[in-house]
Structure 1
Amino acid sequence: MAQLTFYGAVEGVTGSLYLLQTDKATLLLECGLFQGRREEEDANEKPLPFETSTIDAVVLSHAHLDHSGRLPLLVKSGYSGPIYMTRASSDLIEILLKDAASLQERDVEWENKRRRRAGKQEIEPLYRLEDVEATLDYCQGLRYHQRTNIADGVDIRFLDAGHILGSAIVELYINERGVEKKLVFSGDLGNCQAALLRDPEVVEEADILLLESTYGDRDHRSMEDTLQEFEDVIEEASANGGNILIPSFAVGRTQEILFRLGELYQAGKLRHQAVYLDSPMAIAVTEIYHRYQDIYNEEDKAVIDATSSTSRANQKSLHTFLPVLRYSTTTEESIALNKLESGAIIIAGSGMCNGGRIRHHLKHNLWRRQSHVIFVGFQAMGTPGRALVDGAEYFKIGGDEIAVRAAIHTMGGFSAHSSRTQLIEWLGYFQGEKPRLFLVHGEEKAKLTLSEAVKEIGWHPEIPHLGQKITF
């Protein structure tokens, strides 16, 4: 009998980690960081809850850190086997893990300065850049739909999840004593209304199904209404002379927003003088998106091809689709943006405002009534972004307390996750006897709401707890 243990993303939306044990092999599905409140992130400091030496292979659904961010810890603790993911994910993961290591090293350096002054023991980062480099040596990129044997008695196949570039629905085919069982992990399913990427592929059969539930308690606003609001905000900011700040995740959301701004530019509706992408990581990710246009959806790819100039070596891209786009790479270039009082759209990380260059731009713009802040992604409980969305009157940055006078906008229609209705529709493609269903990757309310909804259409969902083991 195969056994699956839930070690992460069962009491929230981060820290994805599942251990699969068969009679011949042991696999790790995901190895993500816990993110959010300090007490949640403290879980990253704990040892991995299994013997690293027992793992035969690791499978990754996509590159986001809540799914991949503890891989260097795994390798640091002795793992030296293959890590399977899609080809695009293998390109993205290098950028994300190196950035995570750099941030950890920097934060620890500052903390150790404080500790030395106080006579306290110094600390170490979770991992360093050399641990990331070692991890990358084990990463193997596979094509979508390519069934591959990855361990004794276990095959894998990736389907397009439509969440970010390279995101996958994971199909694991487990053969024990001549009997094949199929475990499906949805990964993060994409929003069918989103730009650039294709809709999540359908799955029709499984024995075990792990389904994400990030937006299990709500539907997104229609893309038509979202884009109209987006256009209205930009028009208002143009009229009153304000800047627009867009806190955005480097992978997926940034590229979606650049495409939508490109649509407005091509339609003559973008009057701001420049769009600044102020994130070295997001810039690098955008360049990777350009290399994988073969997995864009056909409609948006055709729009880019039809309207972009061909000045950059005859290559159509988001950059040529939006000619007013400016890359801001250096610290000096980022600081210079703080002098702009109007006419700028600044896209910067982090998406939840708990780090990165966006915090400095908030410091220089939140107190201005003509400024606008547009949130285009999920804001986890306990994050600064969530506080702004929930109506905070003041925003603390370092030792400063900034009055919030800017207009705050939340546009859930830009979400990269499937909505409640889309999740239910995706379940509707399963044929015959329904698989055993486990709801993961969601806050409690989202999971409970989705659970009640799918019961009404004949499913019998289970909500696992941390450390729970099931056999099949």
Structure 2
Amino acid sequence: MKIKFLGGGNEVGRSALVVDDKIIIDYGMKPSDPLEIPLPLSSRNGNISPESVILSHAHLDHSGMAASLMSGADAPEAYMTPVTRDIVKLLGRDTIKLGKEQGFAFFGEEEIAKLDANTHTLAYGERRVLNSSDYEFELHNAGHIPGSSTVYLRKESEDISLLYTGDIKIGDTRLVESVSSDDFPASDILLIESTYYGRDHGNRKELERKFIDSIKDTLNSGGNAIVPCFAIGRTQEIVMILHSYGLTPYVDGMGLSVFSIFKNHPSSVKDVDALKNAFNNAQFVNAKRRKKAISEPSVIVTTSGMLNGGPVLYYLKRIHEDPKSKVLLTGYQLEGTNGRRLIDEGYVEAEGEIVKVNASVEYFDFSAHAGDSELKEIVSRFCRNGTEVVFMVHGDNTEGFAAWASDKYGCEAIAPNNGEEFIIE
């Protein structure tokens, strides 16, 4: 089995790999400035035309560039869960918007429609044979966001298999059921995300209480609590948390559209009634109502989570000089994004303008990724069960993770670079 890494090597973002020049697993982008996309589809023999693309989940860094694969005459068939399919359409339009803002045109509405037409959906645990009958695969719940999957792929002729974790979360959140590494089939090759290698997460309930206390302090002082959130997964979880503590937030941005999709796929979330109750309690904001939302002490849940665009920039420009107000970051902030600039340097860029933020900035680790001890437990479980090769991807210290696995278990542990190709026999 040949595996080539087109993105996600020694970096967080633009996850993409191709197996045997035939099967793409994930095809994302790095939402930095400028945007970064996967390396070209090519091999030593020239350009390649994959037959299939499997998407683990609907986040920009894993599926934001999938529609670009549909531009040729021999467009691949696509495979994903039903909820991922619906959100990928939203993401495609968001990618078009991001591209226009930076002067790029990666694909258009025609490619988004073609991706949807070429998509086959499947349930967790359902086995499918790909176009080339030598391969079969399954998706399993990854616990990251609704519809997220790990990918198990087996090549019949060589009797070899791989398990690609995608983004994985071990443990409960309000939005998604808990998963365990025991839920995944054993494989000869493991490709594991490394986002939080070296860092563990604290107790979720304690984190919620600190988050709520900080918001209440802000409101009591007469300020606005601006909560930037990823539209997919984080917005919905944060709204549920706020509702459970008796707070009524304003909700602005794409997160509302994603809520509607989750509501239409009730089995994809842990408690659809709790989700609906939380959003029924919220106040929805559009461009005309933003001034009202910010004119009084309020909590505003808004996109984008890394502050690179969306309504959050409007709110930051309104409160940036208000010491009573606060920005509460709730997710990973990638290098090159406004969120990271805000943490490191205290400013964001908005429409070509430098906006110095004098309001308080706090970070709350509402991560939807496995922490260090959980990542190590996954590797331990696979190596004990016969996995011979482990690739560490989607992280900023994949080399350290690989060295740990090699020393601990003696398996072949690799931190691949983008563009590298490996043949596993």
Q: TM-score, normalised by structure 1?
A: 0.83
Pair 1:208–1:195, CA change in 2 (3 A): same
Letter in 1 for 2:176: L
Q: Is the 8 A contact 2:41 2:48 kept in 1?
A: no
Calculate the aligned-residue CA RMSD, in Å. Answer: 2.2
Identity of matched residues, %: 27
Partner in structure 1 of residue 416 of structure 2: 464
Task: Tell me whether 1:186 sits opposite 2:138 in the alignment.
Answer: no
Find the partner of 2:267 among 279, 286, 294: 294
Give 1:53 deviation, angstroms: 5.9
Find the partner of 1:234 among 207, 215, 227: 215
Pair 1:56–1:380, CA change in 2 (3 A): same
Task: Tell me whether 1:337 sits opposite 2:257 in the alignment.
Answer: no
Letter in 1 for 2:278: F
Larger radius of gyration: 1
Give 1:181 deviation, angstroms: 0.9
Task: Tell me whether 1:157 sits opposite 2:138 in the alignment.
Answer: yes
Task: Tell me whether 1:377 sits opposite 2:331 in the alignment.
Answer: yes
- SS of the equivalent of 2:200 reads coil
Give 1:261 deviation, angstroms: 1.0
Deviations 1:411-449 (A, max 9, x none): 11x111111111112233334323300000111xx3233
Task: Note the residue ranges of structure 1 that are not aligned, 5 or more in a row.
Answer: 112-123, 305-315
- SS of the equivalent of 1:374 reads strand
In the alignment of these two chains, the number of paired residues is 417
Task: Tell me whether 1:91 sits opposite 2:86 in the alignment.
Answer: yes
Aligned partners of 2:203, 2:341: CA distance in 1, in Å? 25
Task: Tell me whether 1:18 sits opposite 2:17 in the alignment.
Answer: yes
- SS of the equivalent of 2:381 reads coil
Partner in structure 1 of residue 115 of structure 2: 135
Deviations 1:324-378 (A, max 9, x none): 30122x322335434x241x11111111111111011011112111111111100
Deviations 1:110-130 (A, max 9, x none): x6xxxxxxxxxxxx6122222
Find the partner of 2:200 among 206, 219, 224: 219
Task: Tell me whether 1:325 sits opposite 2:304 in the alignment.
Answer: no
Q: TM-score, normalised by structure 2?
A: 0.91
Pair 1:219–1:26, CA change in 2 (3 A): same
- SS of the equivalent of 1:258 reads helix
Aligned partners of 1:251, 1:406: CA distance in 2, in Å? 26
Partner in structure 2 of residue 70 of structure 1: 65
- SS of the equivalent of 1:209 reads strand
Letter in 1 for 2:200: D
Task: Note the residue ranges of structure 2 that are not aligned, 5 or more in a row.
Answer: none
**Correspondence list, 1:173-212, <5 A:** 173-176=154-157, 179-202=158-181, 203-212=184-193
Q: Is the 8 A contact 1:437 1:459 kept in 2?
A: no
Give 1:102 deviation, angstroms: 3.5
Task: Tell me whether 1:100 sits opposite 2:80 in the alignment.
Answer: no
Pair 1:450–1:234, CA change in 2 (3 A): same
Aligned partners of 1:65, 1:322: CA distance in 2, in Å? 24
Find the partner of 1:387 among 337, 341, 354: 341
